[in-house]
Amino acid sequence: MKGWDERHAYSVCLTEADRAGMVRMAFRTVDPEDLDYYEKRLQDFGVKYEVVPEDYRRGRALRFMAPSGHTVELYHEMEYTGNLLPAVNPAPWPEGLKGIGVPRLDHTLVTAPEPHTAIQFFQEVLEFRTSEVLVSSDGTPLAAWLWQRPAPHDLAIVPGRAGGFHHAAFVVDSTDALFRAADILAMHKVRIDYGPGRHGITRGTTIYFFDPSGNRLETFGGYSAYQMDPDSRPVTWTQDQIAQAVFYYAQELNETFLSVYT
């Protein structure tokens, strides 16, 4: 599956299993040569990896386990299908979308038992930049928001079980779309975890909700977030402000945020 404005074959794969959670996250490189670059880095850092020659409508990938316990893949080639609009003289959006009609997958947030180790891995080996970091009273990173696109985050890591899947987020591109998304979730009796609201971290608007298997999903309003410059330095949040960092208006965490994930 994919959002209507995504140009490659898919961004979400559902696989039937006996428990909920994440099978893998896969990052697409800018150029084919970047895959070779990362293969060299994995070797230099002594990270064990396997080369997956091809997968469903996708070319070669490097697959490895991050210290957070997640299977991560890097790939470049994927079948180019175009979005739902014509490539010549397109309309701004396609008619006939179902439900919320999200345009794109935005980011994922996962859990790690030693978040600082996992954060360091993505920063050093995969060269993710850091937009925001939540630190404990002694300055240790407890959670970080990491980016490759000039957006607040492509990946975030918070404390929790190894391999844990906190959520995957999809773009909504306006405040109108945010409230329309909330309406549609409520119409379909979807269990809303939080929102509509705003994050302190990233400034993005949010609705958290659960798929029927219990995986948390998010509509993320990056339109209210900021753009990163290549040399932007991280914003720091202190642990005593975690509630407002996560839920800016509520100013308190709900019961589920740190405890319920797959």
Partner 1 sequence: MPYRISRLGHVEIRSLDLDRDLDHYVNVLGLQLTGREGKQHT
Q: What residues from 107 to 166 belong to the interface with partner 1 (CB under 8 A)?
A: 107-108, 126-129, 148-149, 154-155, 165
Q: Around 213, how many Cα atoms within 13 Å sit in the side-chain half-sphere?
A: 14
Structure tokens at 83: 């979005």
For residues 199 and 224, what is the distance between their CA atoms, to the nearest angstrom? 10
Residues 11, 111, 205, 206: which binds partner 1 (CB under 8 A)?
Answer: 11
Q: Which of 70, 76, 116, 153 is catalytic?
A: 153
| Active-site hit among 6, 73, 132, 218 | 218
Does the footprint of partner 1 cover residue 1 (CB under 8 A)?
Answer: yes
Query: Closest approach of Cβ 4 to partner 1, in Å?
Result: 6
Please choose, from the candidates 65, 55, 66, the residue with its C-alpha nearest in 3D space to the C-alpha of residue 8: 55
Beta bridge partners of 147: 129
Provide the pairing of β-strand 49-52 with 235-238: unpaired
Per-residue binder mask for partner 1 (CB under 8 A), 76-105, x = binder: --x--x--x------------xxxxxx--x
- Of 25-33, 134-142, 197-205, 235-243, the segment contacting partner 1 by CB under 8 A is 25-33
Return all residues near 238 (Cβ < 8 A) that are at least 6 apart: 134, 135, 137
Give the strands of the sheet with 71-75, arranged side by side.
49-52, 61-65, 71-75
- Give yes or no for residue 229 binding partner 1 (CB under 8 A): no
Cα 153–Cα 226–Cα 232 angle in degrees, nearest 5: 75
199 is catalytic: yes
Say whether 218 is catalytic: yes
The only residue of 46, 48, 53, 56 in contact with partner 1, by rule CB under 8 A: 56
Residues 120, 240: Cα–Cα separation, whole Å: 23
Residues 242 to 261 in contact with partner 1, rule: CB under 8 A: none
202 or 262: whose CB is closer to partner 1? 262
Query: Does the annotation mark 166 as catalytic?
Result: no
Of 53, 79, 76, 69, nearest to 21 by C-alpha is 69
Instruction: Tell me the site size for partner 1, rule CB under 8 A.
Output: 71
Q: Is 34 in the site for partner 1 (CB under 8 A)?
A: yes
Burial class (CB in 10 A: 0-12, 13-18, 19+), 247: buried
* Closer residue to partner 1 (CB): 8 or 203: 8
Active site residue 70: no
State the minimum distance, in angstroms, from the CB of residue 245 to partner 1. 22
Residues 160-219 that bind partner 1 (CB under 8 A): 165, 168, 170, 184-185, 188, 190, 211-215, 217
- Which candidate in 38, 75, 194, 208 is catalytic? 208
Give the active site residue among 6, 38, 76, 107. Answer: 107
Which residues, at least 6 apart from 18, have a Cβ–Cβ distance to it below 8 Å? none
Q: Is 47 in the site for partner 1 (CB under 8 A)?
A: no
Give the distance, in angstroms, between the CA of residue 214 and the centroid of all CA atoms in the same chain.
17
Active site positions, annotated: 107, 153, 167, 199, 208, 218
